[in-house]
Each structure stands twice: as structure tokens, then as C-alpha cells.
Amino acid sequence: MLSCRELTEQTSDYLEGDKSFGARMMFRLHLAMCDGCRTFVRQIELVRDGLGVAPLTSPTLPDDARSDLIAGFEAQNRD
């Protein structure tokens, strides 16, 4: 049977479907008996799903705001 540490190390592979049938069954058996690991896997799924809807690009700044930020960073680095 998997330990909690082994399960946490293998969670990404499990969620991506990169585990053999036997390994998936061992993973699921552990989840059936361990509330803490079930919670952990649910949290990882929520993060993964949340990142899936996050924008892939950062918002753009108006040119004057970008110039002001760059000038501020450059001034800070000179000091």
C-alpha cells in the first residue's frame, strides 16, 4: 500500500493519467482509506482546474504607465 508521502509525490502523474492500471488501483485504494489524502488530491484538482481558466497572457499596460514603471525600477536600481 502507498504511504501518504508516496501518494503526494505521485498525484500529478495520477491526475494526468500517466499511471498503470495497478498503480491507479493502489492510488485509489489509499484514497478510499485516507481522508487527508482525499482532501489533498481535491485541492490539487481545484488548483489545476483554476489554472486551466487563467489567462495565458498578462494584461497590457498603456504606454505611459509602462514607461513610468520602467523609470521607477531604473531609479530604484541606481540608488
Compute the average pLDDT of residues 65-71.
84
Compute the average pLDDT of residues 10-15.
93
**Range of the structural domain that residue 16 is part of:** 1-56
- pTM for this prediction: 0.63
Compute the average pLDDT of residues 19-40.
96
Q: Which residues contact 6 (CB under 8 A, 6 or more apart)?
A: none
Ramachandran category for residue 3: left, alpha or beta (phi over 0 → left; psi -120 to 50 → alpha)? beta
Instruction: Give the model's pLDDT for residue 51.
Output: 79
Q: How many domains does the chain have?
A: 1
Higher-scoring residue by pLDDT: 58, 31:
31
62 within a domain of the structure (yes/no): no
State the pLDDT confidence band at 75, using cuts at 50, 70 and 90.
Answer: confident
71 within a domain of the structure (yes/no): no
